[in-house]
Structure 1
Amino acid sequence: MKKSLLTLICFIAAITFAQAQLLPSFKLGVKGALGFSSLSSEGKLFNSDTKTGFQLGAWGRVGLAGFHVQPEVYYASKKAGIKTANNEEGDATFKSMDVPILLGTKIGLGPVGFRIQAGPVFSFAQDGKVVNISEATNWDAYKKNSTGIIGGIGADISKLTIDVRYEHGLTNLSSTGDQKIRMWTVGLGFAIL
């Protein structure tokens, strides 16, 4: 009798889990993050120290069969400390609207789960400035949009989301040199729906 009852419980749990994986899911939320960015320059116009910026925005997640697509949109302020070959020092700030489209999977049951995500990120420049450096202040040479790739891990605890991600710039920010953003972010979000 005990074996039959245990078998029945396992069978019901397996069916419930399988159906949960096949039903579509939808979430919508807000997020904020701290970004730790640096500016890579292979042309050696300048080297970059890591500085802290921020991100504020919204995210959505549509899932089916254990996988999900998570588009986001957020306002980002990316900063980098700069030292040129001529020993000029200053700070660069890039403000943009960023749109990552992440593909991922969630491991876990119920309100607690861990996520692995990766995908492209598209940045649309809003403003920017470089302070105290004459070589890098020509903003006409900076592109108005760029593309990168982003990936990371996260956790969901009920409606709370936590993410750690790395962004690697694929396109040059400047038409005069090879300058790409590299950034780690630590984010906190809340699911509204």
Structure 2
Amino acid sequence: MSSNFLNIQKSKNFKQMKRFLFASLFVLIATIGFAQPFFDLGVKAGVHYSNMSFEGDNDLSSDAITKMHWGAFGRVGVNRLYVQPEVYFSKKGGDLSFNALSGGFDYKNVDVPVLLGYKLVKTPVLDIRVMAGPVFSFVTDADYPDGSDRFNDEFLNDNLFGVQYGLGVDVLFFTLDARMEHAGKVYDDPDFVDGKSTSFMLTLGFKIL
């Protein structure tokens, strides 16, 4: 039953992604007819502070961990409005403690945010931006606390849907973003616990185009 549920959830995630991409594309096409479009391409890297929240076992707690992420971004828009797709590699999770055992629940993933943004301040040198949108994550590997036999890859969701939102600043060719991310259920065991991930991200980027 859990396998069927995961397959249904993956299908829903991809449908949500397609709907948002089509909506973003429609907004861009409608706006391009009235203004000069712009395009940016760059690389980015940063740190994120992630933690896990669990339901189903009151003895299970989690502390935040600090990890790195790196990747690339694009930005297409007109005037103050833009769409920013990204792809980057990251590692998230939390430092767990339960039943006299402790250790990390860490998972590696590829994140693909598709953000809709607006430039609150727009000058030739400085831009201040707000952004929000979905993030689609593909989990590639996971590590569980040492000595625990309660976690199993069968209940690890390898296809996640979440949301990101935050602020950004551009100074010439440099960009700095601060965002929050709320992901869906990373782990979902109906007989044990289900867990979600939350992250705060700081990212520095450099525009190469």
Interval containing the TM-score (normalised by the shorter chain): 0.7 to 0.9
Identity of aligned residues (%): 37
The residue identity in structure 2 corresponding to 1:153 is L
Aligned residue pairs total 171
**1:2-25, CA deviations, whole angstroms, 9 ceiling, x for partnerless residues?**
xxxxxxxxxxxxxxxxxxx92101
Counterpart Cα distance in 2 of 1:125 and 1:52: 18
Match status 1:186 vs 2:199: no
> What is the aligned partner in structure 2 of residue 43 from structure 1?
56
Counterpart Cα distance in 2 of 1:168 and 1:118: 12
> What is the aligned partner in structure 1 of residue 70 from structure 2?
56
- Residues 53-132 of structure 1 mapped to structure 2, 5 A cutoff: 53-84=67-98, 86-106=99-119, 107-132=121-146
**1:100-153, CA deviations, whole angstroms, 9 ceiling, x for partnerless residues?**
000011122112111100000000011110132515531222011111100010
> What is the aligned partner in structure 2 of residue 158 from structure 1?
172
Structure 2 length as normaliser, TM-score? 0.78
What RMSD, in angstroms, separates the aligned Cα atoms of the two structures? 1.5
**CA separation of 1:59 and 1:136: change in aligned 2, threshold 3 A:** farther
* Contact 2:136-2:160 at 8 Å conserved across structures: yes
Residue ranges of structure 2 left out of the alignment (5+ in a row): 1-33
Structure 1 length as normaliser, TM-score? 0.84
> What is the aligned partner in structure 1 of residue 159 from structure 2?
145
Counterpart Cα distance in 2 of 1:159 and 1:83: 43
Q: CA deviation at 1:155?
A: 0.3
**CA separation of 1:154 and 1:90: change in aligned 2, threshold 3 A:** same
The residue identity in structure 2 corresponding to 1:78 is K
* Runs of at least 4 residues off by over 4 Å: none
Q: Which has the higher Rg, Structure 1 or Structure 2? A: 1
